[in-house]
Structure 1
Amino acid sequence: MKKLFMIASLVLASVGIGFAQTTPAAPAKAKTEKTAKPAAGPTKKDGTPDMRYKANKDAGAKAAPAGPTKKDGTPDMRYKANKDSKAKKS
């Protein structure tokens, strides 16, 4: 009788543990549409410009910074002119 009780309790425990490990299905998230600028050249499936093409690279070129730049061409953030231009973009 003792062995039967132990086997039954082990079976019930393993079934309980098995159900405890399953996670509920996550609710489906709504797909958000990206609003992209019209591209000068080919686009990707999501509508954004494909930057592998020269036409899109030329159209997407960034404007020159307002103040001095570092050797690599990025704006030098030690100067107020570059800090102000960054604040205006945000």
Structure 2
Amino acid sequence: MKKFLTAMSIVLGLGFATAQQVAPATKTTTTKTVKPVKAAEPTAGKPAQKLKKDGTPDKRYKENQKLKKDGTPDKRYKVNK
């Protein structure tokens, strides 16, 4: 019985030791194409939102009443759904 337990512990030990090895990563050479970014065209007239100095929408104006802090429409309101 002692020999059996010793043999099983060796087999399990070697099994766990080999299970931890990771296959080497293969190098893949992929080329990424960079698309030119179009510059935003300046809008003629008033901006869509009036912003505070920190960049958040100013809630005192009617067009900014139903916007989140980041300027996206707040989906809790029916007009923004």
Q: Give the TM-score category using the shorter length.
A: 0.3 to 0.5
Query: Radius of gyration: which is bigger?
Result: 2
- Compute the TM-score of the two structures, normalised by the length of structure 1: 0.39
- Compute the TM-score of the two structures, normalised by the length of structure 2: 0.42
Q: Which has the higher helix share?
A: 1
